[in-house]
């Protein structure tokens, strides 16, 4: 049995940050266990057709927390990143307009301008109707029938591949609120007056894929990461992993449902873990060069399998070609004649109506046993890498402060 103060499960951004922060605080009794042969999790990149490709899907860096940004720049200095203003588009049948939809309605044909303006200006949210509790009704309430039918519902059904009525609305609170006044102003001035929800200004590495920064974080940890070590079991009472590693504290960034808990855990906790849903994404590469000013395009049309297309020459130095992101269930329905492709089984945690209740139960039960959930899967939260980094720094600081003398 090998003994450590901390055992960290998973070497994605959350696990790597937690471990590196411990190291910076002077803590050396820890081990990171990773099932893959390399680190980076969903943020990994590979060189494909001569240039980097993000095999977990398009990843762009936008960091609100200054400490998290400084932490990331320690591994990959600012000079190695290039900043871009986001240019993304929405392809709707024969039109392609800029994102976000509601502030670029003026780019459609006159007929569609009328339909979509009417839709958004007669939406339930404009008239103060109560906010619905499921995502599908929320879309109609927020954008009106026509925009819901042509864009938001088919697009979201493509991404999540579940009945949108099973998804909640609590996660939408963080989106910037656009008023009907801003939408009308954007329309009249033919210029978006609505805040872009994410990545309005983002960083992407000048000479590498997004995976490079995590590779460097992993390198700093040296032999404190064990690769090809899938976690199969956690003994919850004595905190033994796979029957051979013991930790006083376990930090888990891996999906709860892939682990066998020994000797057993209460039925309601099993049920809560079982209720956590996720969706899987296939990323496919195509070498053709598409002429566009966009970095990526959203595609709600259901006759096309993918929901997003990324033109890497618009953010990646000297690159050509593009890649697509397709929900795995839909990818299976469509041909896979285009190669190469990568499957990310755990890509998106789903924001189902009961998720908050379930995660609260799970995290409370396990934290009482000194097993702590962190990151996208440990917290089952649809968080970007900057949030995973921020939370990991905060957790490492707090634990080091509390248990330093242990």
Binding site residues, ligand FAD, CB under 6 A: 9-15, 33-36, 41-43, 56-61, 230-231, 253-254, 258, 281, 325, 347-348, 375-377, 383-386, 388
Q: Which of 206, 209, 214, 255 is nearest to 234 (CA)?
A: 255
Q: Which residues contact 313 (CB under 8 A, 6 or more apart)?
A: 289, 319, 320, 321
Three-state DSSP class for residue 7: strand
Q: Which residues contact 326 (CB under 8 A, 6 or more apart)?
A: 281, 282, 284, 305, 306, 307, 334
Sign of torsion, CA 46 305 319 107?
negative
Sign of torsion, CA 393 399 402 404?
negative
CA distance 387 to 111: 42
Q: How far is the CB of 292 from ligand FAD (least distance, A)?
A: 18
Partners of 247 in the beta sheet?
A: 4
- Considering the complex, state which of residue 187 and residue 202 has its C-beta at the smaller distance from ligand FAD: 202
DSSP state, residue 109: -
- Considering the complex, state which of residue 6 and residue 187 has its C-beta at the smaller distance from ligand FAD: 6
Residue where the block lists tokens 């893959």: 36
Three-state DSSP class for residue 238: coil
265: left (phi over 0), alpha (psi -120 to 50) or beta: beta
CA distance 252 to 378: 6
Residue where the block lists tokens 């800029």: 98
CA distance 200 to 28: 38
Query: How many of the other CB atoms lie within 10 Å of CB of 330?
Result: 19
- Considering the complex, state which of residue 43 and residue 153 has its C-beta at the smaller distance from ligand FAD: 43
* Size of the chain, expressed as the number of residues it contains: 406
Query: How many of the other CB atoms lie within 10 Å of CB of 123?
Result: 22
């Amino acid at each position: 049995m090998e003994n450590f103060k901390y055992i960290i499960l998973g070497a994605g951004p959350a696990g790597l940050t937690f471990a590196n922060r411990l190291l910076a605080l002077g803590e050396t009794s820890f081990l990171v266990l990773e099932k893959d042969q390399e680190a980076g999790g969903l943020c990994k990149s590979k060189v494909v057709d001569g240039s980097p490709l993000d095999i977990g899907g398009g990843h762009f860096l936008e960091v609100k927390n200054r400490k998290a940004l400084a932490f990331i720049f320690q591994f990959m200095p600012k000079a190695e990143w290039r900043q871009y203003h986001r240019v993304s588009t929405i392809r709707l049948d024969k039109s392609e307009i800029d994102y976000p939809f509601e502030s670029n309605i003026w780019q459609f044909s006159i007929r569609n301008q009328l339909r979509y303006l009417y839709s958004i200006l007669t939406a339930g949210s404009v008239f103060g109707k109560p906010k619905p509790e499921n995502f599908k009704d929320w879309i109609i309430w927020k954008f009106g029938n026509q925009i819901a039918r042509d864009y938001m519902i088919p697009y979201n059904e493509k991404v999540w591949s579940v009945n949108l009525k099973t998804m909640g609305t609590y996660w939408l609170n963080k989106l910037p609120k656009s008023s009907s006044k801003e939408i009308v102003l954007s329309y009249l001035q033919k210029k978006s007056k609505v805040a872009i929800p994410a990545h309005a200004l983002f960083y992407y590495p000048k000479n590498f894929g997004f995976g490079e920064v995590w590779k460097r974080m992993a390198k700093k940890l040296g032999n404190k990461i064990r690769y090809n070590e899938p976690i199969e079991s956690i003994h919850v009472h004595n905190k033994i992993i796979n029957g051979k590693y013991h930790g006083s504290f376990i930090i888990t960034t891996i999906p709860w449902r892939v682990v066998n808990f020994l000797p057993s855990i209460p039925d309601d906790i099993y049920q809560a873990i079982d209720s956590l849903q996720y969706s899987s994404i296939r990323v496919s590469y195509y070498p053709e060069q598409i002429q566009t000013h966009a970095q990526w395009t959203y595609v709600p049309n259901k006759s096309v399998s993918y929901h997003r297309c990324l033109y890497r020459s618009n953010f990646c130095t000297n690159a050509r070609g593009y890649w697509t992101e397709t929900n795995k269930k839909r990818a299976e329905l469509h041909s896979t004649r285009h190669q190469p492709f990568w499957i990310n089984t755990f890509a998106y945690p789903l924001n189902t109506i009961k998720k908050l209740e379930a995660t609260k139960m799970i995290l409370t039960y396990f934290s009482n046993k000194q097993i702590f959930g962190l990151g996208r899967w440990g917290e089952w939260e649809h968080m970007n890498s900057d949030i995973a980094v921020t939370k990991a720094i905060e957790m490492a600081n707090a634990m080091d402060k509390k248990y330093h003398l242990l």
